Chains A and B, each alone.
Chain A
Amino acid sequence: MKSQHQVATAQKVLVQVALVVLSAVFLFPFAWMILTALKPLDETMTIPIKWMPSKFLWSNFTDAIKYGHESVGYYPFLVYARNSIVLCALIVSGTVASNSIVAYSFARLRWPGRDLAFGVTLATMMVPFPVLMVPTFALFRHLDWIGTYRPLWVPAWFGSAFSIFLLRQFFRTIPFELTEAAKIDGASEWRIFRSIVLPLSKAAVAVVALFSFMGAWNDFLGPLIYLLDQKTFTLSLGLQFYQSQNGGTSWNLLMAASAMVIAPVIILFFFTQKLFIQGIAITGLKG
């Protein structure tokens, strides 16, 4: 009869083993991506498979940056990166600004129809983008905004259901006594928002900003529909150009470019890990 202690230790060992194996599984594609990025092209196409590159071609990374169309300049990758950064900055700032204001209204201000409006907001999370795609395109067409970045960042300044939900849940956890006191002293709502609620909500706002950044950095369908001039493309569109239209692909350069697209997000995550995980917990996503 195994003692409870022995069972517990055996389980612990099993768990450790499982975690190690799974970690290897989860990290392997990244490793493979980097290995491929460092190989010369013909080594990517060998049969049987060649695991390690014969030499570490770090130049593939610079080649990947230079790869692309003359019309876009000498370093197309950097052009796309700049576009992505500019767009992300506009989207993230819009998201943070608009959603925090709107969520404040839903969370801490009383007005007729508020709960109905919040319900409607939640319901809109169910509306899939494809059903809005055609009329939205026609709308932007009439505004002559196609080909510019406006269709991509302007909507971010008008609130989005998920972020409103997150922030509203969080704002409600701030004790009402704090704000009541300020109100009785005659402070305006904007004052209360800016000086009391917002400073206390840094973590939640950071989570919203992070999610928004990842969404914007990641977005493919939006730029696909609204951006037409190659010089204005974002990284997600630009990555496609490493695949030749006529068939055949420079896998090593493509992997190098992909690595460079993934890297900022991962680096950002490393710096904001604690905040991020804290944010998920406190915004009550789990309940």
Chain B
Amino acid sequence: MKRIGRREAWAGFIFASPWAIGFLVFMAYPLIASIYFSFCDYSVLKPPIWVGLDNYKALLHDELFWKTLKNTLIYAVIALPAGMATAIILAMLLNTKVKGMAAYRTFFFIPSLVPQVSLAILWMWVLNGEHGVLNPILKTVGITGPNWMGDPNWSKPSLVLMGMWGVGNAMLIYLAGLQDVPTQLIEASELDGANSWQKTVNVTLPMISPVILFNLIMGIIGTLQVFTVPYIMFPNGAPEHSTYFYAVYLYDNAFRYHKMGYASAMGWIMFLMILVLTVCSLRMSEKHVHYQGT
């Protein structure tokens, strides 16, 4: 018996070794090096020189740091709920037994497959102030659309709109979760006289709350790092830095201004934010999330 145990343990180590090596080389080492660099003045062409907390102090006084942080957080606060709500609503619509559900499901899902670069380029075209198509469409229902890309007040909403267009894969996950909701619960609430709204809020949502939590956390991690779309659609966060996102400023500092120590400090701050937000979400989840079977 012990021999099988030892053999199994060895096999375990060997099978897990790719991950172990990868973890050390591509995760642990960069994390530690990045803390070190954040306390240095460093560009790959010049060796690192220790400057202590100087980078962090400079960040505190850097208007762009605060601006990009604000932009990213505002975007996250709007985009996450909007995206989740859209995904859940779509999933609930699909969960009814209507004809052609498979087709609709496909239509809603396909936009989420579009590569980020194509997405940015496509929407640049749709939202174009002069030749775009969104405003003429809005005009047919009597709404005068704003200058989506050129007006600083509307540039972030443009990004939120695009995000809502791409909720396809979150929607599928919610759909799978919804299909797991025990029908007895729903029938029981109907017998109690609950209407659609009450059924949703008191039965359905709590039942899929683990899924919501999972998507929330993944959403936080993803939204705070958003890079490709703002980088392509809004060079330099134009207009007026309204869409200058944290990850893009970080990239600019590292590779365009060659302030790699500074960029490393920004990276660590981002990581700490994600940690804090994730822990907060998990804490809050203890009160609100119901796991089936517990």
Encode B261-294 as 1/0 by CB contact (under 8 A) with A: 0011011101100110010000000000001100
| Interface residue? B131 (CB, 8 A) | yes
The interface centre, meaning the residue of B111, B118, B122, B137 with most chain A CB atoms within 10 A of its CB, is: B118
The answer to whether A225 and B31 touch across the interface, beta carbons within 8 angstroms, is: no
A128 to B260, alpha carbons, bound, how many Å? Answer: 16
Residues of B within 8 A of A157 (CB): 18, 22
The interface centre, meaning the residue of A32, A36, A133 with most chain B CB atoms within 10 A of its CB, is: A133
Q: How far is the CB of B126 from chain A (nearest CB, A)?
A: 5
Q: How far is the CB of B83 from chain A (nearest CB, A)?
A: 14
Residues of B within 8 A of A83 (CB): none
| Interface residue? A155 (CB, 8 A) | yes
The answer to whether B18 and A101 touch across the interface, beta carbons within 8 angstroms, is: yes
Partner pick for A124 among B27, B116, B131, B291, CB 8 A cutoff: B27
Number of chain B residues close to chain A: CB under 8 A: 96
The answer to whether B98 and A15 touch across the interface, beta carbons within 8 angstroms, is: yes
Q: How far is the CB of A144 from chain B (nearest CB, A)?
A: 13
Q: How far is the CB of A74 from chain B (nearest CB, A)?
A: 23
The answer to whether A44 and B250 touch across the interface, beta carbons within 8 angstroms, is: no
The answer to whether B26 and A155 touch across the interface, beta carbons within 8 angstroms, is: yes
Residues of B within 8 A of A189 (CB): 7-8, 11, 15
| Residues 113-127 of B contacting A (Cβ, < 8 Å) | 113-118, 121-123, 125-126
Residues of B within 8 A of A239 (CB): 117-118, 121
Partner pick for A126 among B114, B179, B250, B278, CB 8 A cutoff: B278
| Interface residue? B44 (CB, 8 A) | yes
| Interface residue? B50 (CB, 8 A) | no
The answer to whether A158 and B22 touch across the interface, beta carbons within 8 angstroms, is: yes
The answer to whether B98 and A109 touch across the interface, beta carbons within 8 angstroms, is: no
Q: How far is the CB of B48 from chain A (nearest CB, A)?
A: 10
Pick the interface stretch among A53-61, A65-73, A113-121, A198-206: A113-121
Q: Nearest chain-A residue to B253 (Cβ)?
A: A134
Partner pick for A214 among B9, B113, B131, CB 8 A cutoff: B113
The answer to whether B12 and A114 touch across the interface, beta carbons within 8 angstroms, is: yes
A243 to B125, alpha carbons, bound, how many Å? Answer: 12
A110-B267 contact in complex given A133-B254, A138-B44, C-beta closer than 8 Å:
no
The answer to whether A47 and B130 touch across the interface, beta carbons within 8 angstroms, is: yes
| Interface residue? B4 (CB, 8 A) | yes
Q: How far is the CB of A132 from chain B (nearest CB, A)?
A: 4
The answer to whether B122 and A102 touch across the interface, beta carbons within 8 angstroms, is: no
| Interface residue? A45 (CB, 8 A) | yes
A183 to B3, alpha carbons, bound, how many Å? Answer: 12
| Interface residue? A258 (CB, 8 A) | yes
The answer to whether A225 and B107 touch across the interface, beta carbons within 8 angstroms, is: no
Residues of A within 8 A of B263 (CB): 130, 133-134
Q: How far is the CB of A65 from chain B (nearest CB, A)?
A: 16
The answer to whether A135 and B29 touch across the interface, beta carbons within 8 angstroms, is: yes
| Interface residue? A33 (CB, 8 A) | yes
Pick the interface stretch among B55-63, B74-82, B146-154, B220-228: B220-228
| Residues 246-269 of A contacting B (Cβ, < 8 Å) | 251, 254-255, 258, 261-262, 265-266, 269
| Residues 120-175 of A contacting B (Cβ, < 8 Å) | 120-121, 124-139, 141, 155, 157-159, 164
Residues of A within 8 A of B44 (CB): 137-138, 141
The answer to whether A105 and B292 touch across the interface, beta carbons within 8 angstroms, is: no
The answer to whether A132 and B31 touch across the interface, beta carbons within 8 angstroms, is: yes
The answer to whether A262 and B125 touch across the interface, beta carbons within 8 angstroms, is: no
Q: List 12 A-B pairs, Cβ < 8 Å.
A: A15-B93, A19-B94, A102-B19, A110-B5, A127-B271, A133-B250, A135-B29, A217-B115, A221-B251, A262-B118, A281-B176, A285-B173
Task: Given contact pairs A111-B12, A218-B117, A281-B179, enumerate 16 new A-B contacts (beta carbons under 8 Å).
Answer: A29-B122, A32-B126, A46-B131, A98-B22, A105-B12, A124-B23, A124-B27, A131-B31, A131-B270, A155-B26, A158-B19, A158-B21, A159-B18, A189-B11, A240-B232, A261-B118
The 4 closest A-B pairs by CB, nearest first: A158-B22, A111-B12, A131-B267, A105-B15
A residues near B, CB below 8 A?
Answer: 11-12, 15-16, 18-19, 22-23, 26-30, 32-33, 36, 44-49, 98, 101-102, 104-106, 109-112, 114, 117, 120-121, 124-139, 141, 155, 157-159, 164, 183, 188-190, 193, 214, 217-218, 220-221, 225, 235-236, 239-240, 242-243, 251, 254-255, 258, 261-262, 265-266, 269-270, 273, 277, 280-281, 285-287
